[in-house]
Amino acid sequence: MFGMNPSSLDLNSAVPSGGALVAGSFRNRLLVLIAVSVLLRIGVSFYWQSKMDAGESFRFGDSAGYWNLAERVADGRPYQYNSEHAKVFRTPAYPVFLSSLFRVWEQPTVLSARVFGSLLGGLTVYLIFLLGSRVFNEKTGWLSAILIAFYPGAIAVSVLVLAESLFVPLMLTQLLLMVMAWQSQRSSTFFLLAGLAGILYGLACLTRPSWLLFVPFSLPICLLIIEKKKKQLFMAGILCVSLIGIMAPWWIRNYQVTGHFVMTSLQTGTSLYDGWNPEANGASDMEFAPRMKKLFKEQWLAAGNPERELEYAFNEYMKNEALNWAKQHPGQVALLALEKLRRTWTPLPNTTEIGNTTLRWGIAGYYLPLMLFSLAGILCLRQNRLAVWIFVLPSMYYALLHMVFVGSIRYRQPVMILLAVMGASFLATLLENRKAALPVSDGKCSQGNQ
């Protein structure tokens, strides 16, 4: 949602974006990098699976839920998780995606899902190259791709059977189409690309519902700091119309099974209570959920209420319990927000999330310099409004979101992939200035294509 500013384009820094981004030997090098990133992820997949205990398939409960739903989709059984009172437990995109494995193999292995995710990881490397090249230049795109190919967080996103493995390429494609739409000079191209971006927006929200409010969050900020407000409003409108078209079948289905409008899933209340309750410490601990749901179910049915509405009513109950507790304990809410922020962005992962000391320090060793370079890029390139919107605002959005819901390094990974482009642009600037013997303090940061 940004206008072009040709005067800010540094034509000496690299090949300008917008034309054929990959050609000749450069294309071959990029293909090699993508292949290496895929093979690396497949290798990690085998290693991770080999560390599973006998009879264990997943380390994360969410993974088991996705797997169960995928199997049900493939078999044509009702879309519900373990109970008829969990029909809107998860949004459907990732389980439907996983179900393709069950259509190819009658009993696919979990390892096949990790390999599938590794291929999506290679796609992520390619998409981040395209984004970096279009917003800045090919050198930045290339450096971005290298950083993400070997970034431990991006590797984890690929090999763990979690919705992020699909969400990240969907999110990146949406943002890439939005950039292309904004930079287009023809109205017909703008509407076409914005509409396609909206479709990807809807699919991304059906994969990770937390992405739903990003456009409403970013639009007011953009209207304050960016010109061409009419064009911004047009793009936001097209995005929302396309999103409605994609999500409408899910909304209709949810109304049919619950009797209520449900935009994403009926886990929002429980998730909110996970972050705001008397025992909350900033981390996720869902042990309360089965006990509270059992008690609520008994009381709900004993009162003669319709069983069909039980799942919806329990979600509303949990949401209200969380909100009431938060209203009564504003000081604790503030302290929890800071703890959640720390847990999400800490360089050294918490031992409860990753117990292996070597792995924890390895993650920190890559994350910390990447974050420092990214922050330097934000400071250096803050006048590039397109870059700020595409690569920085998603991080602000998720940081604020997970100051309400629980915090974990898991939730920073998709946006760290975006922030890495800012770090890559700063590194590209360093390389250019070194060649020209110019200090970075001279302010000669290539602002890229706005």
Other beta carbons less than 10 A from residue 294's beta carbon: 10
Letter for the amino acid at 330? Answer: P
Q: What are the C-alpha distances in Å from 30 to residues 12, 153, 266, 287, 370? A: 22, 21, 42, 46, 21
What pLDDT sits at residue 439?
Answer: 53
Other beta carbons less than 10 A from residue 252's beta carbon: 10
Cβ(34)–Cβ(122) under 8 Å? yes
What pLDDT sits at residue 107?
Answer: 86
What pLDDT sits at residue 4?
Answer: 38
What pLDDT sits at residue 23?
Answer: 56
What pLDDT sits at residue 65?
Answer: 92
Q: What are the C-alpha distances in Å from 227 to residues 1, 64, 133, 224, 431? A: 9, 47, 23, 8, 32
Please give the chain's pLDDT, 450 residues, in tens: 444 333 333 323 334 444 454 455 778 899 999 999 999 999 999 998 888 877 777 877 789 999 999 999 999 999 999 888 899 999 999 999 999 999 888 888 999 999 999 999 999 999 999 999 999 999 999 999 999 999 999 999 999 999 999 999 999 999 999 999 999 989 999 999 999 999 999 999 999 999 999 999 999 999 988 888 999 999 999 999 999 999 999 999 999 999 999 999 999 999 999 999 999 999 999 999 999 999 999 999 999 999 999 999 999 999 999 999 999 999 999 999 999 999 999 998 876 667 678 888 989 999 999 999 999 999 988 788 888 989 999 999 999 999 999 999 999 999 999 999 999 999 998 888 776 655 554 445 656 666
